[in-house]
Amino acid sequence: MSAEQALSQTIEDMVDDRRGILAADESTPTIKKRFDAINLESTEETRRAYRQLLLTAPGLGEYICGVILFEETLGQKTDDGRPMPEVAWAQKIVPGIKVDKGTGPLEGAKGDLITFGLDGLGDRLDGYRTQGARFAKWREVYPVTQHNPSLPGRLANAEMLARYAATCQAHGVVPIVEPEVLMDGDHDIDRCAVVTEHVLHAVFHALHIHGVVLEHMILKPNMVLPGKECRRAEPEEVAGATLKILKRTVPAAVPSINFLSGGQGPEEATANLNAINQLRGNAPWQLSSSFGRALQQPVLEAWQGKPENVPAAQAALLKRARLNSLARQGAYDPSMEN
Ligand code: 5MM
């Protein structure tokens, strides 16, 4: 199969009008934080047990089309000796891999961050492909202040996303392009809208310059929201602001937009996704999810690291995945939570 055929096939297997992506690619420090919250030690074995719980949830493939894995998980096996990517695909969930190496300060642009990991990416992608990964994910992170993200910050971050995406496509791997405008801070929803518009313009300009085929990528943006220390916005307000910015910046050739949850609570993220789909009008893309915390928080709480809690934890995952599937069809109602 040529790289182009592989890209088309992966998009076909991942984009439909019902399902979303499960982001389970927490790096070792992040999963440690999640496990600390349930008083569980983070070891290779507890991480394996947890990711096995997620991928073997019966019927998950009804609601989830793809799973983003961390490098360690890609090489791990379930209790019965099957590689994790194979277990995901047995449910028609396409396995993918986070390929960035985290963020650090962007020198010369005070307050902005930049993501590392481009060196040797092509070779790494070839290795990940042989392990079963068919798509990749790279996240650039944009803290919001009165002065950030700066113009050099936006340009540098966009350049990284574009070079990553072009490399992925050359190696037959669908890139998920994730520019995340953070919710941290007391900025209002209008400030988030302005920043998100600037960020997405820069990203799509860079993707064009680097020859990225828009039909063969997925965008994973933030919703347009007020900062965490600002007043809460109703789902209709979030949906209106988010759709306005996306329609101004994202070409119709992009097949699917899968939002990150970014620190929203599980029910809040579902309600916002639902409102976005109810108000979508003539939006040309699929509008779905790629939630991490908003899908997994109830799962971790139910699991507590105990084997006897696995069925309850899987039920919690299936519940959220099902409700998000309804939300991405605009058919969710908060009364369904009970
Ligand atoms: C699941 O978390 C992902 C990995 O984060 P770290 O590299 O910081 O460990 C993260 O990239 C995630 O995929 C996105 O931020 C979306 O997750 P949320 O929780 O915001 O929906």
What tokens does 329 get?
């069809």
Answer whether 26 contacts ligand 1 (Cβ < 6 A): yes
**pLDDT tens, residue by residue, 181-194:** 999 999 999 999 99
Confidence class for position 332, pLDDT limits 50, 70, 90? very high
Residue 329: exposed, middle, or buried by beta-carbon count in 10 A (0-12, 13-18, 19+)? middle
| Atom 16 of ligand 1: nearest residue by CA position | 260
Candidates 171, 334, 199, 313; CA nearest to 265 is: 334
**Which residue segments constitute the domains of the chain, with CATH numbers given?**
3-337 (3.20.20.70)
DSSP 262-284: TT--HHHHHHHHHHHHHT-TT--
Strand partners, 68: 23, 96
Task: Tell me the three state secondary structure of residue 202.
Answer: helix
Q: Using CA atoms, how far apart are residues 56 and 64, in angstroms rounded to an integer?
A: 12
Name the phi and psi angles at 335, rounded to 5: -65, -20
**pLDDT tens, residue by residue, 252-275:** 999 999 999 999 999 999 999 999
**pLDDT tens, residue by residue, 33-79:** 999 999 999 999 999 999 999 999 999 999 999 999 999 999 999 99
Answer whether 260 contacts ligand 1 (Cβ < 6 A): yes
Neighbours of 104 (CB within 10 A): 10
- Enzyme catalytic residues: 178, 220
CB 84 within 8 A of CB 73: yes
Answer whether 182 contacts ligand 1 (Cβ < 6 A): no
